[in-house]
Amino acid sequence: MKKLNNRGLTVVEVIICFSITAVIVVSLFKIIANYNDKQYIESNKNQVITYKNIVTKTIQSDIINNKGISTLNSNINDNYDSMYNSGIISIGFNYTNGKSASIEINVKEGQEYIYFVNSNNEKEKFPLSDIGNGVVFNEPKIDYDLDNALLNIYVGINHPDLGDKYSVLDMVLPLTSKWNKVY
Amino acid sequence: MKKINTKGFALVETLIVSAFVVSIFTIMYTNFYPIMGEYEKRENYDDIGLLYSSNLFKGLIEKNKSYSNMNQKINSVIRSTSPLAYVELTQTDFNPSDYTSGNNSSRDCFNVLVKNAEVDTIYLTSYKISILKNANLDVQTKDYINSLPNYSNSNPGSLGCRIIVKYKSEGNRESNKNKDNDYRYSTIGVGCN
């Protein structure tokens, strides 16, 4: 019977193998860690988008079901600064069919939420903490164009992982007093 | 007793297997990487806020479908014997004199909406978009259109047309400038029949 080769590997061969394996493992580890970060960021984005979808759908459905907003309860442009300084921005409006609703944005740090009271007086609160700790509102941009009867609401957020690129409310709302053509 | 083969692998065999494994990984990576890019692009597509804004344009177009300029454009994309892939809508396609007391005219509404919703371009096309997919458009718009289905199997009902609205980036909004320059898109069917 032929004698088996049982010499094994030399130290140099083992070292070369280990170093090649180490290089591969380290590079793979970096790639996987990178994808892990990406997955974390994407899940955060997903939470922000879901929050925005739910809030927007809730408010817009009520507006469309009630044939659009006819008037605002007050001129938001005049009251905006005092409301922002007090920490709660409230926008009340009347619908074309005579019902009314309101949106309240609490910008106080640690208590941030959007609160919507719909035309049937049903209240829904959307806490910003639902999309993660440390998320705060940027100063909302709420502009009521009196000449054109158009309410523009843009509420951006500052997210610890996503920065300030994303918004949770971005609505252009024409008032039916001048805009019956779009409803 | 059967003789044991102790020769092991030849260098050529090892190289072939290694090359094979490397090519499989390369193919997997090249296929996987664009999917990640595609996913990131899609966050600019059909955002809920954009869809509601596009719905306002839909209402405006439907109210102006009999206005001569608008009617001509609708005909050119859906009723012509050789229909155009798309036409761009401008303020001249909306009636400037359909206001009643206290109301904006359709043209005023269009201009104010374009400004406030930060719209770049509105493309009017047929409800089914197979022709539009071969149209000569900028790369970002083409990417968006290619991400959409042809809608050839869906029942359009009374929706003969479709608008594709190209919005300036959310980062371009006045309160939030200089973030990025990607455009955002949304599409909605429009009743033109």
pLDDT confidence bin for B2, thresholds 50/70/90: low
Report the run of H or E that residue B191 belongs to, with start and end: none
pLDDT of residue B6: 63
Residue type, A168: V
The predicted model gives A2-25 an average pLDDT of 76
Buried b (16+ CB within 10 A) or exposed e, B104-114: bbbbbbbbbbb
How far is it, in rounded angstroms, from Cα B172 to Cα B180?
7
Question: Which residue in B90, B95, B59, B98 sits closest to B73, CA to CA?
Answer: B90
Instruction: Render pLDDT for B31-71 as a digit per residue (tens, 0 to 9).
Output: 877 777 777 778 889 989 899 999 999 999 999 999 999 99
Q: Which residues of chain B have a Cβ shorter than 8 Å from any chain A Cβ?
A: 1, 3-4, 6, 36, 39, 43, 47-49, 52-53, 56, 59-60, 63, 98, 102-104, 106, 108-109, 112-113, 116-117, 170-171, 173-176, 179-180
Question: Which residue in B92, B128, B46 sits closest to A49, CA to CA?
Answer: B46
The predicted model gives B79-92 an average pLDDT of 92
What contacts A177, CB < 8 A, 6 or more positions away? A70, A71, A149, B102
Question: Which residue in A83, A80, A157 sits closest to A126, CA to CA?
Answer: A157
- Do residues A127 and A136 make contact, with C-beta atoms less than 8 angstroms apart? no
Contacts of B39 in chain A (CB under 8 A): 42
pLDDT confidence bin for B14, thresholds 50/70/90: confident
pLDDT of residue A5: 62
Lowest mean pLDDT among A55-59, A130-134, B58-62, B141-145: A130-134
- Do residues B186 and B54 make contact, with C-beta atoms less than 8 angstroms apart? yes
Contacts of A5 in chain B (CB under 8 A): 6
Domains in chain A: boundaries: 37-182
Determine, for residues A145 and B116 on separate chains, whether the beta-carbon distance falls below 8 Å: yes
Nearest chain B Cα distance for residue A100, angstroms: 20
pLDDT of residue B178: 47
pLDDT confidence bin for B28, thresholds 50/70/90: confident
Contacts of A180 in chain B (CB under 8 A): 103
Determine, for residues B174 and A141 on separate chains, whether the beta-carbon distance falls below 8 Å: yes
Output the six-digit token pair for B157.
Answer: 């009902």
The predicted model gives A10-14 an average pLDDT of 77
Q: CA angle, corner A161, sides to A156 and A164, nearest 5? A: 25
How far is it, in rounded angstroms, from Cα B153 to Cα B156?
9
Distances (CA, A) of B45 to A40, A129, B50, B160, B183: 21, 26, 9, 22, 9
Q: CA angle, corner B134, sides to B132 and B136, nearest 5? A: 90
Nearest chain B Cα distance for residue A154, angstroms: 9
Contacts of A164 in chain B (CB under 8 A): 176, 179
Q: What percent of chain A has pLDDT over 90?
A: 42
Lowest mean pLDDT among A43-57, A71-85, B165-179: B165-179
Task: Round to the nearest angstrom and report the end-to-end CA distance of chain A.
Answer: 95
Which residue, among B52, B103, B111, B114, would best test binding to A if mutated, counting the most A CBs under 10 Å from its CB?
B52
Nearest chain B Cα distance for residue A182, angstroms: 4
Report the run of H or E that residue B48 belongs to, with start and end: helix B48-63
- Do residues B47 and B84 make contact, with C-beta atoms less than 8 angstroms apart? no
> Looking at the predicted structure, is the pLDDT value of residue B121 above 70?
yes
Determine, for residues A4 and B6 on separate chains, whether the beta-carbon distance falls below 8 Å: yes
Q: Chain-wide mean pLDDT for chain A? A: 88
Task: Round to the nearest angstrom and report the end-to-end CA distance of chain B.
Answer: 87
Output the six-digit token pair for A87.
Answer: 């920490």
Question: Which residue in B164, B147, B151 sits closest to B38, CA to CA?
Answer: B147
Determine, for residues B56 and A174 on separate chains, whether the beta-carbon distance falls below 8 Å: yes
Nearest chain B Cα distance for residue A121, angstroms: 23
- Do residues B119 and B73 make contact, with C-beta atoms less than 8 angstroms apart? no
Determine, for residues B175 and A139 on separate chains, whether the beta-carbon distance falls below 8 Å: yes
Nearest chain A Cα distance for residue B45, angstroms: 12
Domains in chain B: boundaries: 11-44, 45-190
Determine, for residues A42 and B102 on separate chains, whether the beta-carbon distance falls below 8 Å: no
Search chain B and give the residue with CA nearest A42: B40
Question: Which residue in A46, A171, A59 sits closest to A123, CA to CA?
Answer: A59
Search chain B and give the residue with CA nearest A183: B59
Nearest chain B Cα distance for residue A35, angstroms: 10
Determine, for residues B48 and A177 on separate chains, whether the beta-carbon distance falls below 8 Å: no
> What DSSP line would sit under A89-131, residue for residue?
EEEEEEETTS-EEEEEEE-STT--EEEEE-TT--EEEEEGGGG
Nearest to A181 among B4, B6, B109 (CB): B109
Lowest mean pLDDT among A11-20, A62-71, A143-152: A11-20
pLDDT of residue A101: 95
Q: CA angle, corner B168, sides to B55 and A165, nearest 5? A: 105
How far is it, in rounded angstroms, from Cα B121 to Cα B166?
5
How far is it, in rounded angstroms, from Cα B128 to Cα B154?
9
Q: What percent of chain B has pLDDT over 90?
A: 47
